[in-house]
């Protein structure tokens, strides 16, 4: 009878350990998902800051062009002077789109990682519960067999 009780207690302990392990792994994966989400948010924010700096640089470049063109006596609001500034503005807009696209792609990658971590967390918890249930069932069968043999 003592060995049957020992088998049952051991089975319960193993089952609890399996469930706790699944919870622990789930918690770690949820933490990783949270961190990946923060990285995605950071990527967006860095992208916005890069956009802001790019706009400033473009405006500064156009200002320098206007000053240089004016100093050379070239009309800055028409003809080739205006064309130079328009080209610079178009290049600046292209830079902004590239920065925005790169930031979105980086953030998307982190969002995908976060989703993967959340899925792993769910699977780890389910695996822990399943292993615990299986361990309890096995312990019950072994204890029952031991009980019958020792009667």
Closest-CA residue to 140 (of 125, 108, 148, 55): 148
Q: Which domain holds residue 27?
A: 2-149
pLDDT in tens, 96-134: 999 999 999 999 999 999 999 999 999 999 988 888 778
* Average pLDDT score over residue span 124-149: 74
What was the pLDDT predicted at 132? 79
Please state the domain count of the chain. 1
pLDDT in tens, 15-47: 778 888 888 999 999 999 999 999 999 999 999
Please state the φ and ψ torsions of residue 64, each to the nearest 5 degrees. -65, -40
- Predicted TM-score (pTM) of this structure: 0.73
């Amino acid at each position: 009878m003592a060995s049957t009780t020992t088998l049952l207690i051991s089975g319960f302990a193993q089952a609890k350990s399996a469930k706790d392990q699944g919870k622990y792994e789930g918690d770690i994966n949820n933490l990783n998902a949270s961190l990946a989400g923060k990285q995605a948010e950071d990527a967006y924010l860095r992208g916005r800051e890069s956009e802001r700096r790019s706009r400033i640089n473009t405006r500064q470049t156009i200002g320098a062009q206007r000053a240089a063109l004016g100093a050379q006596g070239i009309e800055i609001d028409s003809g080739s002077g205006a064309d130079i500034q328009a080209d610079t503005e178009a290049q600046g807009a292209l830079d902004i789109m590239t920065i925005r696209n790169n930031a979105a792609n980086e953030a998307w990658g982190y969002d995908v990682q976060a989703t993967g971590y959340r899925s792993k967390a769910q699977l780890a918890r389910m695996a822990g519960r399943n292993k615990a249930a299986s361990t309890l069932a096995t312990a019950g069968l072994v204890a029952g067999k031991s009980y019958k043999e020792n009667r």
